[in-house]
C-alpha cells in the first residue's frame, strides 16, 4: 500500500475509533439525538405520504368523471339551461358533445350525499365509457329507464344494496325510490358514484331543462387553447369553459394551505430536534476539547477534525432519518387504515388511498434529517477546528470555546429579517415568508440567549450577594453568570420546544375561541331546521316554508337559500347565501370585520352584497366596489356593502338579501330555517309539532348548543394533529433537558471534585445542580414564552389569514401553558439531580487528577 493510501486508511480507522469510543461512552445522548431526528422525520414524512396519497386518489377519481373530454362547459351557477347543448354540439370544431347533470343527491338519514350523474348513454359511452351502467342481460334497456340507477361497488357497499334492490333518495322533501339495475364499467376504489339516464334525473329531481356541464371532444387538429379562448368570448360570463385539469387545480387550491400547514407543523419536531443535536454536539465538543487539542498536537489537521465532528453529526442524521422514514411509512399506513385520509381537514371525501413509496419525498426527508444534524454540528465543529491546541489543553477553557455565541449581531439580523418577512404578502397563495419569519425569529431568539443569560444572572447574582444568601444559591448563580455559553446551550432545547409549544397553543386557542364567539353571534335563533345536511336535491318549497312559519309556538321563521357561483374556473366555486338581512344593520345577522356601507350610499339598480374575508384576499373585493355577477339568468349589478367573518368557507362566500336573490333567479326554495320560539313555548313542543307536518320526517332539527358542540368537536378533530405535535414538542423538550443536563454534569466532574475538596457535601452539590437547573429552566421558560408569543403573532395575524383567509382575535391558554411550564421545570430539576448523582459519586481525588 502506498504512503498516501496508508495515511487515508489510518485516518479512517482513527475516525471510526473516535466515533465508536464517543458513542460507547455516552450512548444515551446519541440515542436521544437520533430519536428526536427520527420523530421529526417520521411525522413530516407520514403527513406528506397521507396527503399525497389522498390528493392523488381524489384527483384520479375526479379525472375519471371527465373521461376523455377535451373541454367542459359549466355554468357560473350550479346549473344552466339545456338549450345551450344543441348550440355547443353544432359549434365548428366540436366532434362530440355530451350533456351531464351532476348532482350531490341527499339520502334520508345520511349526513353524506351521493354523487349522481345523469348522462346521455349514447354520448357518454364515447367520452366517459368507464362510467356507463352495465345492465343485466334480461333488461338491456335499463340504461334508459326512469326508475333505474347504476351504483359503483363502493356506493353499493356503503348503502348495503345489491342489484335488484331499491334505494331511497330525496327530491325536495319527497322520497324517490330507484331500482339498482347494476354496476358501472369501472370506478376508483372508494368512489361513491351513481349513474342514470339524464332525462330521468331531470324529471325525478326537479331539474327539468337544466344541465350541470357539457363535455366536449374536439376534432383532430383543433388548437385547444385557442378554441377555449374564443369559445369563452362567445359564451360570455354566464358559462365557463374549463379543462379537465381545472378540477385537479381546484382541489389543489382548496387543500394546498391545509397540506402545507400540516407538513410545516410536522417539521416543527424536526426543527426542534436540530437544536437538540446542536446542544448535544456542542456540549460533547466542549467536553472533548482537551482530547481534540491532543489530537492536533499529534498531527491531526483542522480539516480532519472538522470532518470528524461533521461526520458524527451526519451519522446521527442518517440513522435518525432512516429510522424516521420507516416509522413515518408505518404511521401513514396506520392512519389511512383507521383514521381516514384527510387528517381532519375534510378535503378528500369518498376516497380510499393506499400509501405508496415516493422516491422524491423520501429523498427530501432523508436529506432534511441529515442537513439539520449537520447544521446542528457545524458551529461546534468550526470552533473545535479553530481552537489553538495550547489553550484548549488547559482546564477551564470550555467557556472560552463558546465565547463566539455571545455576539448579538447575528441574532439581531435574524430578528430584523423576520420582522420584514412577516410584513410581506404570500407567495403562490401560501405564507412561505411567514414560515421563514417564524424560523428566523426562533433562531434569532435562541442566538440572543448567551447575552441575555449573562445579563440576567449577573444582575441576579449581584442582588443575591447584597442579601448575603446561602452558599448553594451563591455558587449556582456564580456558575450561571460566569458560564453563559454553556448555560445558553442547556437552555436551547428548553427554549425552542417551549416557544413552539406556546406559539401553537396560542394559535389553536385563538382560533377555537374565535370560532366559539362567531358561533355565539351567528346562532341567535332558538331552533334550526334543514332538509338535509348537504346535497343539491333537498329544499323547502314556498308552501312548506309557509307551513313551518305557521306552526304553533313559532314567533318568527327566517329562511336561507344556499347556492354556489363560479368566478374563476381555476378556483373552487364560492358560496352564495341568500337570507333575511337588514341592510341598515347587517351585523345583527353576521359578524362584520369592518365598516359597512349604509343603504343611502347605494344608487338605483344596485344590489348590496356582503362578502367574506376570503373574497377580499382571493378576488380583491373592497368596500363600496361595484361589480357584475352572474346570479340569475341575466345577472345583475352589485355593490360590496361590507366584509364579514366566515370560519367555514375558506374559498369565499357572498351573502345577499333573500328577496333580492329570489327576484334575480326566480328560485323560491329554501335550504335552512332559523326559528324563534314564542315566550312560554318550549323548543321540544315546537319540534314535535313540526314533525307532524306532512314533510316532517324529511327535516333535521338542531338547537344552538348542539350545533356549537358539534362544530367544536369537528374543530378539535381537525386540529388533532396539532395537539399531537404539541405533545411531541413537549417530549422533545424533556429529552433535551435530560440530555443537556446529563452531559453538563458529567463534563463538570472535575469542578464537583474540587468543590468536594473544599468541603462541599454531595447533598449540597446536588442542591447546586437542582438550583442551576431550576433557574436556567425558569429563564428558558420566561424567554420561551416571550418568543412563543411573538411567533404566535405571526401565526395568528400573518400565517392563518394568508393560508385560510380569515382573521381572529388573540387568546392565551394560561392554564395549559402554566401546566407545561411547571412540568418542564420539575423535570429539569429532577433530571439534573439524577444526572448529578453519577458525577458526584466519583472519588474527589480521581475527579480532579486529570487537571493539567
Q: pLDDT tens, 606-632? A: 899 999 999 999 899 999 999 999 888
Residue with cell 369565499: 652
% of residues, the chain, pLDDT over 90: 28
Instruction: Give the pLDDT of residue 712.
Output: 84
Distance between CA 254 and CA 570 in Å, rounded?
10
What's the distance, CA 839 to chain centroid? 45
Distance between CA 526 and CA 682 in Å, rounded?
10
Q: What is the DSSP string of 373-394?
A: HHHHHHHHHHHHHHS-HHHHTS
Instruction: Give the pLDDT of residue 344.
Output: 52
Which pLDDT band, with edges at 50, 70 and 90, does 332 fall under?
confident
Flag whether pLDDT at 98 surpasses 90. Answer: yes
Q: Are strands 554-565 and 672-677 parallel, antiparallel or unpaired?
A: antiparallel
Closest CA to 807 of 643, 593, 586: 593
Instruction: Give the pLDDT of residue 747.
Output: 61
Instruction: Give the pLDDT of residue 283.
Output: 66
DSSP bridge partners of 179: 148, 166
Higher-confidence position of 605 and 183: 183
* Three-class DSSP labels, 238-286: CEEEECCHHHHHHHHHHHHHHHHHHHHHHHHHHHHHHHHHHHHHHHHHH
Instruction: Give the pLDDT of residue 740.
Output: 65
Least confident window among 20-34, 75-89, 677-691, 823-837: 20-34
Q: What is the DSSP string of 707-749?
A: HHHHHHHHHHHHTHHHHHHHHHHHHHHHHHHHHHHHHHHHHTH
Contacts of 836 (CB under 8 A, 6+ apart): 745, 752, 765, 766, 769
Flag whether pLDDT at 634 surpasses 50. Answer: yes
Say how many C-beta atoms besides its own lie within 10 A of residue 76's C-beta: 20
Higher-confidence position of 789 and 372: 789
Residue with cell 466532574: 749
Flag whether pLDDT at 199 surpasses 90. Answer: yes
Higher-confidence position of 6 and 477: 477
DSSP bridge partners of 608: 639
State the chain's mean pLDDT as an integer. Answer: 81
Distance between CA 166 and CA 774 in Å, rounded?
70
Distance between CA 394 and CA 398 in Å, rounded?
9
Which pLDDT band, with edges at 50, 70 and 90, does 254 fall under?
low
Flag whether pLDDT at 291 surpasses 80. Answer: no
Which pLDDT band, with edges at 50, 70 and 90, does 311 fall under?
confident
Ordered alpha helix ranges (H), 67-193: 84-89, 121-127, 153-159
Which pLDDT band, with edges at 50, 70 and 90, does 639 fall under?
very high
Least confident window among 147-156, 468-477, 825-834: 468-477
* CA distance from start to end of the chain: 39
Flag whether pLDDT at 206 surpasses 50. Answer: yes
* Coil, strand or helix at 450: helix
Least confident window among 45-49, 164-168, 338-342: 338-342
Determine contact, residues 170/538, Cβ cutoff 8 Å. yes
Higher-confidence position of 564 and 7: 564
Instruction: Give the pLDDT of residue 470.
Output: 67
Which pLDDT band, with edges at 50, 70 and 90, does 13 fall under?
low
Mean pLDDT in residue range 167-179: 90
Mean pLDDT in residue range 250-275: 67
Which pLDDT band, with edges at 50, 70 and 90, does 281 fall under?
low
Mean pLDDT in residue range 67-95: 90
Which pLDDT band, with edges at 50, 70 and 90, does 23 fall under?
low
Closest CA to 113 of 612, 729, 781, 671: 671
DSSP bridge partners of 642: 610
Q: pLDDT tens, 119-146? A: 999 998 888 888 888 998 888 888 899 8
Flag whether pLDDT at 101 surpasses 90. Answer: yes
Contacts of 744 (CB under 8 A, 6+ apart): 283, 486, 490, 835
Contacts of 516 (CB under 8 A, 6+ apart): 708, 712
b/e string for 387-405 if b means 16 or more Cβ within 10 A?
Answer: beeeebbeeebbebbbeeb
Flag whether pLDDT at 507 surpasses 50. Answer: yes
Say how many C-beta atoms besides its own lie within 10 A of residue 278's C-beta: 25
% of residues, the chain, pLDDT over 70: 77
Instruction: Give the pLDDT of residue 265.
Output: 66
Distance between CA 786 and CA 793 in Å, rounded?
11
Q: Report how many helices (DSSP H) and strands (DSSP E) the chain contains, helices first.
A: 29, 21
Instruction: Give the pLDDT of residue 851.
Output: 46
Least confident window among 284-288, 440-444, 680-684, 798-802: 284-288
Instruction: Give the pLDDT of residue 734.
Output: 66
DSSP bridge partners of 677: 554
Least confident window among 20-24, 220-224, 497-501: 20-24
Which pLDDT band, with edges at 50, 70 and 90, does 8 fall under?
very low
Flag whether pLDDT at 708 surpasses 50. Answer: yes
Distance between CA 646 and CA 658 in Å, rounded?
19
Instruction: Give the pLDDT of residue 605.
Output: 82
Which pLDDT band, with edges at 50, 70 and 90, does 449 fall under?
confident
Instruction: Give the pLDDT of residue 18.
Output: 61
Which pLDDT band, with edges at 50, 70 and 90, does 508 fall under?
confident
For residue 13, give Cα distances in angstroms to 1, 309, 313, 513, 694: 15, 15, 18, 60, 88
Q: What is the DSSP string of 600-611?
A: GGPPTT-EEEEE
Amino acid at each position: 500500500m502506498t504512503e498516501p493510501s496508508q495515511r487515508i486508511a489510518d485516518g479512517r480507522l482513527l475516525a471510526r475509533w473516535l466515533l465508536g469510543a464517543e458513542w460507547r461512552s455516552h450512548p444515551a445522548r446519541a440515542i436521544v439525538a437520533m430519536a428526536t431526528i427520527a420523530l421529526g422525520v417520521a411525522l413530516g414524512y407520514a403527513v406528506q405520504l397521507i396527503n399525497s396519497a389522498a390528493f392523488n386518489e381524489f384527483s384520479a377519481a375526479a379525472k375519471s368523471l371527465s373521461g376523455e373530454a377535451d373541454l367542459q362547459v359549466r355554468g357560473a351557477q350550479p346549473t344552466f339551461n339545456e338549450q345551450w347543448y344543441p348550440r355547443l354540439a353544432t359549434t365548428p370544431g366540436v366532434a362530440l358533445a355530451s350533456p351531464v347533470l351532476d348532482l350531490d343527491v341527499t339520502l334520508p338519514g345520511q349526513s353524506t350525499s351521493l354523487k349522481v350523474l345523469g348522462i346521455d348513454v349514447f354520448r357518454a359511452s364515447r367520452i366517459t365509457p368507464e362510467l356507463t351502467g352495465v345492465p343485466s342481460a334480461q333488461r338491456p334497456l335499463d340504461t334508459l329507464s326512469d326508475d333505474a340507477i347504476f351504483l359503483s361497488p363502493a356506493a353499493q357497499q356503503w348503502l348495503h344494496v345489491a342489484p335488484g334492490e331499491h334505494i331511497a333518495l330525496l327530491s325536495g322533501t319527497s322520497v324517490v325510490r330507484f331500482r339498482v339495475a347494476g354496476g358501472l364499467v369501472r370506478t376508483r376504489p372508494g368512489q361513491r358514484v351513481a349513474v342514470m339516464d339524464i332525462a330521468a334525473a331531470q324529471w325525478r329531481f326537479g331539474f327539468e331543462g337544466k344541465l350541470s356541464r357539457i363535455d366536449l371532444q374536439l376534432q383532430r387538429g383543433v388548437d385547444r387553447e385557442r378554441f377555449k379562448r374564443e369559445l369563452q368570448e362567445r359564451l360570455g360570463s354566464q358559462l365557463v369553459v374549463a379543462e379537465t385539469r381545472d378540477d385537479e387545480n381546484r382541489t389543489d387550491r382548496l387543500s394546498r394551505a391545509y397540506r402545507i400547514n400540516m407538513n410545516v407543523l410536522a417539521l416543527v419536531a424536526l426543527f426542534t430536534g436540530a437544536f437538540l443535536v446542536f446542544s448535544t454536539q456542542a456540549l460533547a465538543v466542549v467536553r472533548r476539547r482537551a482530547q481534540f487539542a491532543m489530537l492536533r498536537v499529534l498531527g491531526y489537521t483542522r480539516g480532519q477534525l472538522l470532518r470528524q465532528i461533521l461526520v458524527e453529526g451526519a451519522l446521527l442524521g442518517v440513522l435518525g432519518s432512516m429510522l424516521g422514514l420507516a416509522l413515518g411509512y408505518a404511521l401513514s399506513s396506520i392512519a389511512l387504515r383507521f383514521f381516514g385520509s384527510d387528517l381532519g381537514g375534510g378535503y378528500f371525501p369518498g376516497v380510499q388511498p393506499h400509501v405508496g413509496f415516493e422516491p422524491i419525498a423520501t429523498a427530501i426527508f432523508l436529506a432534511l434529517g441529515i442537513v439539520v444534524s449537520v447544521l446542528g454540528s457545524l458551529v461546534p465543529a468550526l470552533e473545535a477546528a479553530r481552537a489553538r491546541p495550547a489553550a484548549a489543553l488547559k482546564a477551564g477553557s470550555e467557556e472560552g470555546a463558546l465565547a463566539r455565541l455571545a455576539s448579538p449581531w447575528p441574532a439581531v439580523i435574524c430578528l430584523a429579517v423576520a420582522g420584514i418577512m412577516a410584513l410581506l404578502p404570500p407567495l403562490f397563495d401560501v405564507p412561505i415568508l411567514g414560515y421563514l419569519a417564524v424560523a428566523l425569529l426562533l433562531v434569532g431568539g435562541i442566538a440572543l440567549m448567551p447575552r441575555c443569560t449573562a445579563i440576567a444572572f449577573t444582575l441576579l447574582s449581584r442582588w443575591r450577594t447584597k442579601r448575603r444568601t446561602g452558599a448553594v444559591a451563591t455558587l449556582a448563580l456564580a456558575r450561571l453568570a460566569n458560564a453563559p455559553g454553556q448555560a445558553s446551550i442547556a437552555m436551547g432545547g428548553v427554549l425552542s420546544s417551549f416557544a413552539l409549544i406556546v406559539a401553537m397553543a396560542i394559535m389553536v386557542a385563538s382560533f377555537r375561541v374565535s370560532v366559539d364567539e362567531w358561533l355565539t353571534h351567528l346562532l341567535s335563533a332558538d331552533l334550526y331546521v334543514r332538509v338535509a345536511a348537504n346535497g343539491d336535491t333537498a329544499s323547502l318549497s314556498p308552501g312548506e316554508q309557509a307551513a313551518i312559519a305557521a306552526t304553533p309556538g313559532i314567533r318568527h321563521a327566517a329562511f336561507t337559500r344556499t347556492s354556489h357561483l363560479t368566478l374563476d374556473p381555476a378556483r373552487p366555486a364560492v358560496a352564495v347565501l341568500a337570507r333575511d338581512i337588514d341592510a341598515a344593520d347587517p351585523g345583527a345577522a353576521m359578524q362584520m370585520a369592518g365598516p359597512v356601507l349604509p343603504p343611502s350610499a347605494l344608487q338605483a339598480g344596485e344590489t348590496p352584497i356582503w362578502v367574506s374575508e376570503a373574497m377580499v384576499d382571493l378576488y380583491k373585493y373592497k368596500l363600496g366596489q361595484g361589480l357584475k355577477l352572474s346570479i340569475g339568468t341575466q345577472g345583475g349589478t352589485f355593490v360590496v356593502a361590507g366584509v364579514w367573518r366566515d370560519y367555514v368557507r375558506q374559498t369565499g362566500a357572498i351573502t345577499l338579501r333573500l328577496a333580492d336573490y329570489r327576484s334575480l333567479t326566480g328560485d323560491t326554495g329554501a335550504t335552512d330555517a332559523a326559528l324563534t320560539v314564542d315566550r312560554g313555548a318550549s323548543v321540544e313542543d315546537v319540534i314535535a309539532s313540526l314533525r307532524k307536518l306532512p314533510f316532517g320526517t324529511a327535516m333535521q332539527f338542531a338547537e344552538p348548543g348542539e350545533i356549537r358542540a358539534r362544530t367544536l368537536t369537528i374543530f378539535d378533530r381537525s386540529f388533532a394533529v396539532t395537539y399531537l405535535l404539541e405533545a411531541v414538542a413537549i417530549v422533545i423538550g424533556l429529552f433535551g433537558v435530560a440530555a443537556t443536563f446529563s452531559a453538563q454534569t458529567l463534563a463538570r466532574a472535575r469542578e464537583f471534585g474540587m468543590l468536594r475538596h473544599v468541603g462541599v457535601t454531595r447533598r449540597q452539590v446536588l442542591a447546586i445542580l437542582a438550583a442551576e437547573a431550576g433557574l436556567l429552566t425558569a429563564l428558558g421558560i420566561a424567554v420561551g414564552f416571550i418568543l412563543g408569543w411573538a411567533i404566535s403573532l405571526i401565526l395568528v395575524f400573518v400565517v392563518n389569514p394568508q393560508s385560510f383567509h380569515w382573521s381572529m382575535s388573540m387568546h392565551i391558554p394560561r392554564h395549559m401553558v402554566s401546566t407545561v411550564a411547571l412540568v418542564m421545570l420539575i423535570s429539569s430539576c429532577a433530571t439534573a439531580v439524577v444526572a448529578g448523582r453519577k458525577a458526584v459519586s466519583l472519588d474527589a481525588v480521581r475527579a480532579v487528577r486529570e487537571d493539567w
